[in-house]
A = this chain, B = another copy of it.
Amino acid sequence: MPDPQKVLLLLSGGMDSTTLLWWMRAEGIPEIHTVAVDYGQRHAIELACSAALSRLAGARSHRCLKLDLQQIGGSPLTDAGLSVPHAARNQQVQTVVPYRNMLFVTLAAALAETQGIPTIYISPVRDDYAAYRDCRQEFYDALEGALRLGATRQTDLHIHTPFVDKWKTEVVRIGLDLNVPYDQTHTCYEGTRPACGRCDACTERIAAFRANGVRDALAYETEIDWTAG
């Protein structure tokens, strides 16, 4: 039987999902379980970050599920033969593996069903809208509908996306207030530590901290000007 006290969070170890974890903790959600997906990403570093952050936040359990997206192909995030685009507007679409979020949520829902967890949290943010159609609320509503109809038993499954209407800048502001250990998160597409500071993902992250007038606690390879507006 599903236990309404339990929730499952998709925790990538990045900025958004880690902030969501700290936000959920602050909201007093009693029993948080976390799950990461090893999808064949070029860098295992984010999986290590996810597990460490789950422990640090005091989550009840952490699981890493495998789902090979390399076999689908088409994205430099999983294909070592393709180069990751450097900061340029509207290039984010090239890093998309089709239906990645849908597969992650459905896999999480399968795990949740076997564990009696009726609620799933995921952290799409407003900045992702343009390039990623599977970051819109409309999509998550449809996905929740399909998951309810496809569940083994009648279910009241919910997918929560508390940050879907927030810009990354706002997410960082929330996280700073909650003392999220941003130095232990991972964002860089290059998978380096210190972070490259130049790829699309780093550029977006840096912009979000800069807009808050705050230095990111994460180490970067290059000198970053945190004051520029």
Contact = CB atoms under 8 A, between A and B. Distances in A.
Interface of A: 65-69, 71-74, 93, 96-103, 106-107, 109-111, 113-114, 133-134, 136, 138-139, 142-143, 145-147, 149-153
A164 to B, nearest CB: 14
B72 A114 contact: yes
Contacts of A67: 67-68
A72 to B, nearest CB: 5
Contacts of A103: 103, 106-107, 110
B106 A150 contact: no
B146 A133 contact: no
Nearest to A153: B133
Contacts of A71: 65-66
B72 A111 contact: yes
Given A145-B146, A146-B139, A146-B146, A98 B109 contact: yes
Tally of this chain's copies: 2
Contacts of A101: 150
Q: Which of A65, A147, A150 has the most CB of B within 10 A?
A: A150
B151 A133 contact: yes
Contact of A68 (B66, B98, B113, B153): B66
Contacts of A152: 93, 96, 98, 133
Contacts of A97: 110
Contacts of A96: 152
A109 B114 contact: no
Contact of A150 (B113, B134, B153): B134
Contacts of A99: 106-107, 109-110, 113, 147, 150-151
Contacts of A139: 146, 149-150
Given A109-B99, A133-B151, A146-B146, A74 B114 contact: yes
